[in-house]
Structure 1
Amino acid sequence: MKLYKPLFSIIIIIVQLILSLEDYYQLQEWKKENPELDSLINLVIHYDTLFLFVLIIGIYEMRTKPSLIKKLIRILLVCIVFGYCFSGIIPIEDFKFGIYNTAWFSAVVAIVLILIQMGKYGTKKINKACR
C-alpha cells in the first residue's frame, strides 16, 4: 500500500493533536478550579473523537493518488480543523456541532473507502499468488 505525499496530512493531524491536547488541559484546569461543578455538569467533550476523525480522514488522504478528490479532501481537513478551532468567532448557532458532524460523516465515508481499497489490494494479492 502506497502513501502519496503524506506531509500535508501529517501536519494537519499534528495541528489537530495539539489543539486537542490544549482543550484537554484547559478542561483539567477548569475541573481543578471548580470541583463542585464538575460533578453537577455533564460536559460534552468532542476534542478526542474529533482528533480520531481527522486522523482517519488524513490517512485516507495519504492513500489517495494526486487528483481533484485529494485537493477536496485537503480543503475539507483544513475547514474541519480551523472551523472547529475558530467556531467561537463565527456567529452561527451550533456551528461547532455542524463541523463535528461533518467530520464524523466524512470519517465514516473514509473508513468505508479505505476498506474497499484494502479489499481490492487483498484480492490482487490473492489472484497474484494463485497464478
Structure 2
Amino acid sequence: MKNYKNQYNLKLYKPLFSIVIIIIQLIFSLKDYYELQEWRKANPELDSLINLVIHYDTLFIFVLLIGIYEMLTKPSLNKKLIRLILVFIVFGYHFSGLIPIKDFKYGIYNTAWFLGFSAFVLILVKITKYLIEKITSRKLK
C-alpha cells in the first residue's frame, strides 16, 4: 500500500503582508463610509435625489478574497505577482485622482472585481482538493 502524503494542505504561507493590505483597505473603506455619512447629514435633500455609486464595501470584499488567496499560495513568483496586484488595487483605487487617465478608478475596480471572483473560485478549488484528499486518506487507513 502506498504512503499517501497530504499534498493539499490549507496552510497559510507568510500571511503578514496580506493582513496589512487588508487592514489598509479596511481603513480606507471606513474613511469613505464616514465621509459619505457626513455628506448625507450635511445634504439630506440631495441624498434622495442623487443615485450614489458606492464601491468601498465591495472593494474591501474583493481585496479580502485576493488576500486570502495570497495567504494560501506557496512562496513563488505567483505570490509576488499577487502581492503587487494587491498593492496596485488598494493604492491605485484610492489615489486614482493623481493619475490623469479617464475612468482609471473604475478600471481598477473592475480589475479587482474580476480578480476577486477568480480568487474565490481558486479558494473553493483548494478547499475541495483538501477535502477530497482528507476523505481519500481516511478511506485508505
Give TM-score, length-normalised by structure 2. Answer: 0.92
Q: 1:126, CA displacement in angstroms?
A: 0.7
Percent of aligned pairs sharing the same letter: 73
Q: In structure 2, what is the equivalent of residue 16 of structure 1?
A: 25
Tell me, yes or no, if structure 1 residue 38 matches structure 2 residue 47: yes
Higher relative contact order (Cα pairs below 8 Å, separated by 6+ residues): 2
Q: Residue deviations 1:68-127, cap 9 Å, x none? A: 000000000000000001011111111110000000000111011111111111111011
Runs (5+) with no aligned partner, structure 1: none
The CA RMSD measured in Å over matched residues stands at 0.5
Tell me, yes or no, if structure 1 residue 67 matches structure 2 residue 83: no
Separation in structure 2 between the aligned mates of residue 27 and residue 118 of structure 1, nearest angstrom: 37
SS of residue in 2 equivalent to 1:43: coil
Separation in structure 1 between the aligned mates of residue 61 and residue 110 of structure 2, nearest angstrom: 13
Q: In structure 2, what is the equivalent of residue 91 of structure 1?
A: 100
SS of residue in 2 equivalent to 1:92: coil
Runs (5+) with no aligned partner, structure 2: 1-9
Separation in structure 1 between the aligned mates of residue 85 and residue 69 of structure 2, nearest angstrom: 12
**Alignment partner for residue 117 of structure 1, among 115, 123, 126?**
126
Separation in structure 1 between the aligned mates of residue 67 and residue 110 of structure 2, nearest angstrom: 17
Separation in structure 1 between the aligned mates of residue 97 and residue 33 of structure 2, nearest angstrom: 17
Aligned residue pairs: how many? 131
Q: In structure 2, what is the equivalent of residue 57 of structure 1?
A: 66
1:79 alignment partner AA: F
Q: 1:45, CA displacement in angstroms?
A: 0.1
* Aligned structure 1 segments of 4 or more residues deviating by more than 4 angstroms: none
Q: Residue deviations 1:27-51, cap 9 Å, x none? A: 0111111111000000000000000
